[in-house]
Amino acid sequence: MDIWTLLSDVVLLLSACLVMGGVFSRLGQSPLVGYLLAGMFLGGPGSFQLVKSEHEIEAIAELGVSLLLFSLGLEFSISRLKKLGPVPLIGGALQVVLTLLAAAGVAHLFGYTAGESTAIGAMVALSSTAVVLRTLMERQELETPYGSNSLGVLLIQDIAVVPLAILISLLAGGDDAGSVIANIGRVLAVASGLIIGLYLLLNVVAYYALSALELARNRELTILLSAVTGLGSAWAAHKAGISPALGAFVAGMFLGSSPYATQVRADISPLRVLLLTLFFGSAGMIADPVWIVQNALMLFIAVAVLLTLKFVIITLIFLCFQNLLQTSLATAVCLSQVGEFAFVLGRIAGDAGVISEATLNLFVSVTIVSLFLSPFLVAKSNRIARRILSLFPKSFTSTTVDSSTKTHHADVLIVGFGPAGQIAGRAAVERNLETAVIDINRSNIRKAVQLGMYGQVGDATQFDVLEHSHVGSVKVVVITLPNVKATIAISDYIRQLAPQAHIIVRSRYQRDSDEILSSGADIVFGDEYEVGQQIGNHLCDWISNYQQKEKPEESQDVNPA
């Protein structure tokens, strides 16, 4: 094909992605949905077919997937995983495995082969990191229990992309056991050789060579290093007959332990964004808008079944880890969609002949609809959880209360027992004040009991929880939650139940102080103001000490005569 025709198509697709991505971002949606719709209407079956070079663009876009996995490798860190704690991480691993098995089982019941069913299960098992984290961060809900759960599961899902891609590659040998075993042996042998080769190249040869090149003084060299490492490892894996994404991930993981990792991550970002935009645009070309309209009922049934399946599995997993029912439900709502990595795994499965073109078209369409619904579901996750909770009998959803809270009326009530709540709680206990704590996190309640307080597991945004906590008799209420909407609701409820109580609120942002005060709080301590005040005090003390040290030296220079 003429290079200028290809360039014209690339520019046209990127322009459409720019416009559609901007529109959907403005509407509160993920730009990814805009990229997918741009590709759907510009190329492929049932579209305007303005882009003719779809196969060439797909080939270029494959590099975007490799660079995405390369970036994930750079971010991979055992210490980062430990910070999240065991519950979200173990829950994430269980979620991937159980969802894969359940979705594969449902697909098999509908007549798909074992290989196709497994590939479908792998695609469905992953949620949308881009949509979920962006929405939670915008709503300041990432630090909530369901936000923390979602973060842990999404991180495990990102890591699971590589083994799932390997699994799909293994299925390419056929459905019979002999072919699969032979393929496993071949892939393991080739992958082992590639890993050893990349380790020696990046940790021995490249490390000393790059040190000699003085990358710190030559910014363009780090850019070249990023491109050569990310794209070169993908090429090496392709030549070895395994997934290019696997090679790029391994290279990123090895390079991530080098002193150049931070700069490489920054330098590779623009190229990765460009190629990934092309990837999602080309993925949209697989979907047929005419087919989607004609099969809308079947498509929405498939979406509903898959969302419900993931929702039930995730809820049960977190209930088994003793999360509150509302927290488990909210986490499940956040993660029930099919994520953007379904396109990555779907492309690998399609290229390997594991799934048919019709099956790929169906699940690309399912994923597009799922991603379109995701921002609404994530934004309303806690409200949806409460609505579902209201359908259960009260005896089933009643909050677990420490037995000591039933007979004690506290002087101080602390809502939210994170670091700020713990500091306030210790101060109250040291002054022999009866102190009670309400927190949705069981581990925080255990800390409160160990410190001599009375703990109650519950969601303080529910009127009944505050009422059963005897809040009407408390003298002081301290609210330390990071979510401003939850803080305002709690402050309003407490003002109704305990008009005499002095309400102290911690706010993350200074801009929210007026709204919190208007809801009934007596005083608001903003993180930004308090940190700034502490820095200012320290700065003044340091300058004062510095000036005192300088004065003796100046006096010595003065001539007594």
> Beta strands 454-457 and 502-507: pairing type?
unpaired
Separation in Å, CA 312 to CA 95, 98, 103, 328: 10, 11, 12, 10
Could you give the angle at the alpha carbon of 178 between the alpha carbons of 174 and 184, nearest 5°? Answer: 75
User: How far apart (Å, rounded) are the C-alpha atoms in residues 514 and 488?
Assistant: 11
DSSP state of 144: S
DSSP state of 401: B
In this predicted structure, what is the pLDDT of residue 403?
39
In this predicted structure, what is the pLDDT of residue 85?
67
User: How far apart (Å, rounded) are the C-alpha atoms in residues 136 and 128?
Assistant: 12
User: How far apart (Å, rounded) are the C-alpha atoms in residues 155 and 80?
Assistant: 10
Asked whether the predicted pLDDT for residue 424 surpasses 70, the reply is yes
pLDDT tens string 306-364:
999 999 999 999 888 878 888 889 999 999 999 878 888 888 888 888 888 888 888 88
- Which parts of 287-351 fold into alpha helices (H)? 289-294, 296-320, 325-335, 341-351
Q: What is the DSSP string of 49-77?
A: -----HHHHHHHHHHHHHHHHHHHHHH--
How is the chain split among helix, strand and coil, in percent rounded to 5? 75, 5, 20
User: How far apart (Å, rounded) are the C-alpha atoms in residues 160 and 141?
Assistant: 25
In this predicted structure, what is the pLDDT of residue 187?
66
Asked whether the predicted pLDDT for residue 405 surpasses 60, the reply is no
Average pLDDT over residues 154-179: 75
Q: What is the DSSP string of 474-516?
A: -SEEEE--S-HHHHHHHHHHHHHH-TTPEEEEEES-GGGHHHH
User: How far apart (Å, rounded) are the C-alpha atoms in residues 29 and 414?
Assistant: 36
At 194, which amino acid appears? Answer: L
**3-state secondary structure (DSSP) of residue 413:** strand
The percentage of residues in the chain with a pLDDT greater than 90, rounded to a whole number, is 16
At 336, which amino acid appears? Answer: S
pLDDT interval class at 402 (50, 70, 90): very low
Asked whether the predicted pLDDT for residue 507 surpasses 50, the reply is yes
Q: Is 147 in contact with 136 (CB distance < 8 Å)? A: yes
Separation in Å, CA 302 to CA 33, 95, 305, 306: 19, 20, 5, 6
Encode 493-511: b = buried (16+ Cβ within 10 Å), e = exposed: bbbebbeebebbbbbbeee
**3-state secondary structure (DSSP) of residue 551:** helix
Average pLDDT over the chain, rounded to an integer: 80
As a residue count, the chain comes to 561
In this predicted structure, what is the pLDDT of residue 93?
87
User: How far apart (Å, rounded) are the C-alpha atoms in residues 111 and 106?
Assistant: 9
In this predicted structure, what is the pLDDT of residue 423?
92
Retrieve residue 82's tokens. Answer: 């430990």
In this predicted structure, what is the pLDDT of residue 79?
57
Spatial neighbors of 466 by CB under 8 A, at least 6 apart, are 438, 460, 490, 493, 494, 497
Asked whether the predicted pLDDT for residue 502 surpasses 90, the reply is yes
Lowest mean pLDDT among 4-18, 135-149, 327-341: 135-149
pLDDT interval class at 437 (50, 70, 90): very high
Asked whether the predicted pLDDT for residue 414 surpasses 90, the reply is yes
Residue 149 CA to chain centroid, in angstroms?
A: 9
Q: Is 113 in contact with 353 (CB distance < 8 Å)? A: no
Strand partners, 401: 456
Lowest mean pLDDT among 13-22, 47-56, 322-331, 526-535: 47-56
In this predicted structure, what is the pLDDT of residue 524?
92
pLDDT tens string 212-259:
555 556 667 767 777 787 788 888 887 776 667 777 877 877 776 666
Retrieve residue 528's tokens. Answer: 């930004």
Spatial neighbors of 149 by CB under 8 A, at least 6 apart, are 87, 88, 91, 318, 323, 327, 331
Query: How many CB atoms lie under 10 A from the CB of residue 24?
Result: 22
Average pLDDT over residues 117-140: 84
Quote the radius of gyration of the chain (alpha carbons, Å): 28
Lowest mean pLDDT among 71-75, 177-181, 239-243: 177-181
